[in-house]
Amino acid sequence: MPKIVPFKAVRPTRAIVGLVAARPYQSYTVDERESRMAYNPYSFLHIVNPGYKYDQEVTGEERYRLVKNRYLEFKEEGVFVQDEKPSFYVYKIVNRHGQEFSGIIAATSAEDYENDIIKKHEDTIAKREETFKSYLQTVGFNAEPVLLTYPDNAVIAHIIADTQNTRHAEFEFTMTYRDTHYLWKIDKKETIATIQKEFEKMGTIYIADGHHRSASSYLLFKDEKEKNTNHKGCESYNFFMSYLIPESDLVIHEFNRLIKDLNGLTKEEFLIKLDTFYRIENRGLMPYKPSKPHHFSMYLDGEFYSLYLRKTSYEFKTSLDKLDAQLLYKTILQPILGIDDLRDDSRISYVNGQHDMITIKSSVDSGKFKIGFGMCPSNVEQMKQIADDGLTMPPKSTYILPKLRSGITIYEY
């Protein structure tokens, strides 16, 4: 039974929260980062890139220490203020496409992660886990929640709706990406207890996005627990900040694939090898996007193709085998194009499914890539089944919404 607890969030003041909130650091181009930091002294980017103040790049432990210093400066200057009472936070995002996401920001249990009550569907890289664990230990806070999803629950849905409809939001602001954010605080003990009881009735909840952050938080928990001779289980390191949304709110897009070469094959040789697994139809100049699982689109040499799996050529033994990202890997990327490591091979790049097939076409026509593949998105049930079976998806199998911002609520260790 999942355990969630309220916490005293550190939050920007209402007047400047829209200036503080930021996308993940790596999602900005260099020019975008420079512009925001030059003209917005409140941006959370100043905290995660503390070397900007000294006009130099800093890395490792030195950077972590400076991140902590910048964070403490923001608190000292009154940019950040900590709530007086432990709370849950109802958080709503309305994006530029009109999609709405509503859920609860809470602290979730590292032991639940250890015991597979919080389930994962992606592999993580040990080096990245350790790096972020060290970061958390030094800076002492986490500013971006892990995205978790839970089965739709009428009681929790009523509390969220009632909170939104009967109270003024603590925050309401719109970002330059044209998504609008709202936050309400729940600090009544009775309401908190009701929410906790509803989550305790659930068998499991699932990581939708943030596998490395949750894994690193778990490593931090193990380290701190071992060092603390008076460990009680209620210390802040026992938990990590999460944004929990119902499964019906989760939006999953695919990641399409772009490949730089045909692995030494001519176009004709490649198509002959492809014919083993797929029925191939040339669609000419007309952009094609697949509408069914196990069908793919392909753009090669100025033309679109549709690929239909020959069912006799591929056996579905596990839930993972049915995933289109795995199917594409096992039938084309690995055996024909020679791509074994989807995470580190420089010959492959990914484009999230919010971009249409014209993006694939443009990337190939530019000469940077030789071939592109489009697929259908997976769904929540596939994601859950793979997690339940103890399997993991290939890298870049899902592009999941909502995408969260840093610096809106902060969890201190």
254 phi, psi to nearest 5 deg: -85, 165
Contacts with 213 (C-beta within 8 Å, 6 or more apart), sequence order:
132, 142, 144, 146, 240
Residue 343 is predicted with a pLDDT of: 85
Residue 64 is predicted with a pLDDT of: 96
Residue 57 is predicted with a pLDDT of: 85
* Distance of alpha carbon 52 from alpha carbon 44, whole angstroms: 12
Map residue 224 onto helix, strand or coil: helix
* Distance of alpha carbon 34 from alpha carbon 40, whole angstroms: 10
Pairing type for strands 348-352 and 278-284 reads: unpaired
pLDDT digits (tens, 9 = 90+) for 296-333: 999 999 999 999 999 888 889 999 999 999 999 999 99
pTM: 0.93
Residue 177 is predicted with a pLDDT of: 81
Residue 58 is predicted with a pLDDT of: 87
How do the domains of the chain map onto residue ranges? 4-252+401-412, 255-397
pLDDT digits (tens, 9 = 90+) for 29-83: 989 999 999 999 999 999 999 998 888 888 899 999 999 999 999 999 999 999 9
Average pLDDT, the chain: 95
For the chain, what's the residue count? 413
Query: Which residue from 280, 289, 275, 284 is spatially nearest to 304, judged by alpha carbons?
Result: 284
- CATH assignment of 255-397? 3.30.1760
Residue 53 is predicted with a pLDDT of: 85
% of the chain residues with pLDDT over 90: 89
Residue numbers of the chain with a pLDDT score lower than 70: none
Residue 83 is predicted with a pLDDT of: 98
CB 243 within 8 A of CB 104: yes
Residue 27 is predicted with a pLDDT of: 87
